[in-house]
Structure 1
Amino acid sequence: MIIDSHAHIFPHLGSRAGFPSVEANLDEIQRSMHNHLAQPVKRKSDHQSVSEKTLWDPDDPTMAGKYEVNFRVTNNGRFEWKKDGIDYYIHYMPPNLQTMEAGPEFLKVMMEYVGIDKAVLQCASVYGKLNYYYLNVIHEYGDLFYPLYQPEEMRAYSDEQIMQLRDFVKFGFRAIWFAGSEKCFTAKYRPFWDEVSALKLPVFWSFHPNQYTDLSRGLLDWVHRYPNIINIIAQSFPMSLIRVDGRFALPDFMREFTQLDNVLFELAYPIS
């Protein structure tokens, strides 16, 4: 059996996609593209890459820092916007994503074509808030896909979020996806992680490349506290760790992970 550990399906990226509104979804995608490191931003007039930050104030990560640039989802993998009279775009998705959505049947056919038996459906805010979308997938394609549950990371420690985690596990989720931060390793989050441990749920971690080293150090301390939780580090290792000679420059402390049975690294082409 061949299992793809990192696959995605999602509704139209210009829809509400699980957010309270279409506008809230577009705000999140705009923020994600501001922080994106792999695909370049290009001018639409001559298709040349630009380094200027045109989506968000780099000194203000709050909503007040968002530039009003008519950010929009177009077609063929592109997000487009206009700042100071100049049109820009980024190809976050491949050009063959013509309609900017990828449903379960689309992935199913691709898997059949290349001989993949099952797939783990990962998450990220750029695709939407997908927990309820994934519930339908579990109901209709439960023998093919393993969707990951994504909590509200900034308040995962709350009683409400812990109760919701229990409910979604009852509905068929078998693991969670978590966008890591330094806060998530603090004592405040222990009630949540205690519940994850009790439910025996693997955790798929997503670390932003700019915080990869610091968050990996935090994870190393954390995994000793929760030795029975299986951890998978998604898209290891980020391009920010690649040296000029093409080799990875891993911090020495990360070698300690090789001695642990409950930490796995997903080796895949990093898009960030």
Structure 2
Amino acid sequence: MAQIDGLPPLSDVIRTHELSAKKSLGQNFLLDLNLTAKIARQAGDLSGCDVLEVGPGPGGLTRGLLAEGARRVLAIEKDARCLPALDEIAQAYPGQLLVINGDALDVDPLAHLTPPIRVAANLPYNVGTELLVRWLTPKAWPPFWQSLTLMFQREVANRIVATPGSKAYGRLAVLAQWRSDPRIVMELPPEAFVPAPKVHSAVVHLDALPTPRFDADPAKLSRVVATAFNQRRKMLRSALKGMAPDIEDRLLAAGLKPTERAEQVPLEGFCALARQF
């Protein structure tokens, strides 16, 4: 698998360019090209698609995406040390890889990509959740992306696909499941990475829905959900009392019991409550 593109194995690339992973950047490198190719395949049919990748590091997943037929890959890398290694990949795939040295939170990918667009990334641990929330809460829907295929700590992945009544169920599950169809498609042990993190990881694939599952104003839904889960052990009437003096009436109008807690409320219930505001 290391010879899929005529480039050297990732272990050699890291040694040549002295790319020790930086904890401050949330880096954990995947060196097995069999695994990176498998992750790339989880993103679906990439032929005819542009792909956004955040935090490519030495380019393991980048190579997988290109080998799987991605029309073009935009790789946003904050660590300038990785640029020479990524440039070698760009030379092997002329015109198919654009690398931007910058912070993914500050870069507008639409300035460099043409639809249809998929996102695939082994996200840096320190910005993964923030990026996911941004991609799930654009001003307009459908979003710029068709699907997201993202690596997270397994705990975060479980929160994305969690169901009501579980400890993992919270704001992330509501936001993800309101506008997309998320599922865990792969799990990886710590030893798959260099350096090995202390936790297991998982790949989550999210397909964008053409319209949200239930009608609700995005800003109001986000506020209701954030407020409710901010004090998740309290009854809804207590956790949400600051939102309206007649909160009990609004809860009842939404078909919810004021004595329930946030983790008991299904997605449809939160949307109904958001409509009461």
Instruction: Report the TM-score range of the alignment, normalised by the length of the smaller protein.
Output: 0.3 to 0.5
What TM-score results when the alignment is normalised by the length of structure 1?
Answer: 0.37
Largest Rg, 1 or 2: 2
